[in-house]
Amino acid sequence: MHELGITQNIIAIVTEHAKGQKVQRVLLEIGKLSAIMPDAVQFCFDICAKDTLLEGAKLEIREIPGLAKCRQCGAKVLLEQPFGICNCGSRELDLISGEELKIKEIEIEEICV
Ligand SMILES: [Zn+2]
């Protein structure tokens, strides 16, 4: 399960950004073609976040659909896999999105005075 390593990386990056403050919410973007299972990341997050600044933080995952542009006719093609075929019959597709793994937002606990 490579999601465990990925999740540990995410937690390490967020911890660095948090600079010692509690993290309330993390928004992740995971591309559908990235072969990363959002459910598995969520599961690992709950375990790995224990005893870190992210303990109790809400992990939100936004799935980014796979999208490619056809080199032949320029049409946009939605992809469920990292390969596909355009309506025009061409298989020469340039991926636009769907492979990303991004930490989109980090919400740090505000300390009210
Ligand atoms: Zn085409």
Q: Domain segments of the chain: what residues?
A: 3-65+98-108
Q: For the chain, percent helix, then strand, then coil, each to nearest 5?
A: 25, 35, 40
Distance in angstroms (rounded) separating the CA atoms of residues 84 and 52: 41
Give the bridge partners for 67, in sequence order.
78, 97
Vertex 21 angle, CA 19 and 25, to 5°: 105
Asked whether the beta carbons of 43 and 4 are under 8 A apart, the reply is: no
Q: What is the pLDDT along the chain (113 residues), one digit of tens a residue?
A: 689 999 999 999 999 999 999 999 999 999 999 999 999 999 999 999 999 999 999 999 999 999 999 999 999 999 998 889 999 999 999 999 999 999 999 999 876 65
Q: What are phi and psi of 40, to 5 degrees?
A: -70, -40
Stated pTM of the model = 0.85
Name the residues around ion ligand 1, CB cutoff 5 A.
Answer: 70, 72-73, 75, 86, 88, 90
Q: Separation of 17 CA from ligand 1 center, angstroms?
A: 43
**What CATH topology corresponds to 3-65+98-108?**
hypothetical protein PF0899 fold (3.30.2320)
Q: Separation of 91 CA from ligand 1 center, angstroms?
A: 8
